[in-house]
Structure 1
């Protein structure tokens, strides 16, 4: 099997990224891998689509640090191939990282992903589904029962009124963004720095304001879903609790959050089941739910992370399950010879 991992940039990858774990698992299972970035597509005059990928040398790596060094080293090969010869294009870029400095690159994965799917590659997550999820407004399409009460606005008056109606405070963040950037807890509409926070964050576009969930002090639960269902292996779920640093409201690992083991309760599984139908409909093969109490704060459909921490905590390599699922999809694609649409294959 040939797998192309689409990322924001080669230099931006790290040994602890989930993409690293996925790539290493693919290599360990005997597959060929490429790393591709937003500038690596070529649509030729004869309507063929090529990708220019970076290939790390060697076949197997015992440590992610070794794989990462090989990927970024001078010995990594640069190869060009027709996308029809690529079995799976795995879209693993974060559009928000390119939105400011390289806006042209933010949605290249979904754009060219559609063309790749039309030429026979399996593209996950489905590019049409990802196009629907280009910002946090996508989350509003899920059942109200699993969502915090939410306001989306650029009006400071609307936001102040919303804050006044929630005595435990609110969380305010950009509608487009990730990694815990510009996330603030606002306790009252009378806070002295509210106007300054509003001016700083609203410069990025619309704001999303949610009622604060007191259970967030204990962190959130990141739960992976694959093919619409909780990812598990040997009785263990692909999940962690992300505990915020002292004085922080953000539990993101990039924001100094700490990953600890977590027990997945029937209540959490019920939340996952509630969102499954839409994830299936939208072709979301691999997603991360961020859960606090009985609510989902976010659904990460672009670059859900945490597999490396789960390997350390549980000694389970969930990446192997993910690559195995892709192998099954390639078998199904070949058996049906193009009859099944990419969005269906993505979560089959």
Structure 2
């Protein structure tokens, strides 16, 4: 089969990315792989949908860095093909990266992904589900039991009052964003620089204030779910602890966080159980939960990363398991001849 990976930009991809691991795993299983970016869709007057697909001239699996270099250099091959020539469109872009400088690109995956799904291409995660998850407000639709106490507002007065109610302090961050950008820990509403922090974060729109979880000092746990269930093979879970750097609140890997092995306990699995129904309802095939204690801090449904870290920590590469699941879905799609919606098929 042919899998098209939708990313923000090919120039921005790296060998350490989970998307790269998935692409190499797909090639190792004999599949064709291409990359698509927000500007690569074409809808013609006859209603045909095409993509400008970037591939490597060498179809043989290779090391991650060499594969990405080939896509970014002279070995890249760009062809315009009909979307019907693609079996799977895997949406792996981060909308927040494009929100400021290329707002037109932020929603391209969901928009054109919906058109691809209408034309019979298995599209994951389901584009309708992703359209509802364009910012962190989506998280409020999950069970209250798994969410830290949260306020969403643009009012400094509301935020000050909320901080006063939280004995452990709060985490303040933008409603739209990723990668740990503009995330602050506020201990008291009387902090001298609160106004400056508020101005910095509120410039991006609404703010989220969450009650601080003391267990977060040890970092959070990134756990992958596939088809609504923890991704694992023979008891080895697709999970790791993201440990913040010294003096840092954020545990994001691009904010100097480091990866460490972690044990998946019944308490963590119970958290996954509680979020499963909505993830399945929304067609979220592959997601990453960021867990502290028995709470979920965030649910990454666009570009959950960390599979290479997990392979390095545990010696188990789970990227092939993700590709195998896609193979099964494409086979089911053929067998049921359009009887299953894309959203159902995405998490079946």
Shorter-chain TM-score bucket reads: over 0.9
Structure 1 CA distance for aligned equivalents of residues 274 and 103 of structure 2: 34
2:35 paired residue number:
35
Ranges of 4+ aligned residues in structure 1 off by more than 3 Å: none
Structure 2 CA distance for aligned equivalents of residues 146 and 114 of structure 1: 30
1:84 paired residue number:
84
The CA deviation at 1:62 is 3.8
2:193 paired residue number:
193
Structure 2 CA distance for aligned equivalents of residues 60 and 184 of structure 1: 45
Secondary structure of 1:287's counterpart equals strand
Partner deviation per Cα, 1:131-164 (whole Å, 9 max, x = no partner)? 1100000000000000000000000000000000
More off after superposition, 64-73 vs 203-212: 64-73
TM-score calculated relative to the size of structure 2: 0.99
Unpaired stretches in structure 1, ≥5 consecutive residues: none
Structure 1 CA distance for aligned equivalents of residues 67 and 13 of structure 2: 11
1:269 paired residue number:
269
Matches within 5 A, 1:225-236: 225-236=225-236
Structure 2 CA distance for aligned equivalents of residues 298 and 310 of structure 1: 19
The CA deviation at 1:167 is 1.4
1:70 paired residue number:
70
The CA deviation at 1:66 is 1.3
Matches within 5 A, 1:263-302: 263-302=263-302
The CA deviation at 1:57 is 2.2
Unpaired stretches in structure 2, ≥5 consecutive residues: none
1:135 is aligned to 2:120: no
Partner deviation per Cα, 1:268-292 (whole Å, 9 max, x = no partner)? 0000000000000000000000000
Decide whether the 8 Å contact of 1:28 with 1:59 is kept in 2.
no
Partner deviation per Cα, 1:60-87 (whole Å, 9 max, x = no partner)? 3342111111111111100111101210
Structure 2 CA distance for aligned equivalents of residues 22 and 154 of structure 1: 39
Partner deviation per Cα, 1:79-122 (whole Å, 9 max, x = no partner)? 11110121000000000000000000000000000000000100
Matches within 5 A, 1:1-150: 1-150=1-150
More off after superposition, 52-61 vs 104-113: 52-61
Secondary structure of 2:343's counterpart equals helix
Structure 2 CA distance for aligned equivalents of residues 133 and 262 of structure 1: 28
1:312 is aligned to 2:316: no
RMSD, aligned α-carbons: 0.6
Secondary structure of 1:46's counterpart equals coil
Matches within 5 A, 1:129-278: 129-278=129-278
Number of aligned positions between the proteins: 348
Structure 2 CA distance for aligned equivalents of residues 178 and 57 of structure 1: 33
1:303 paired residue number:
303
Secondary structure of 2:11's counterpart equals coil
The CA deviation at 1:330 is 0.3
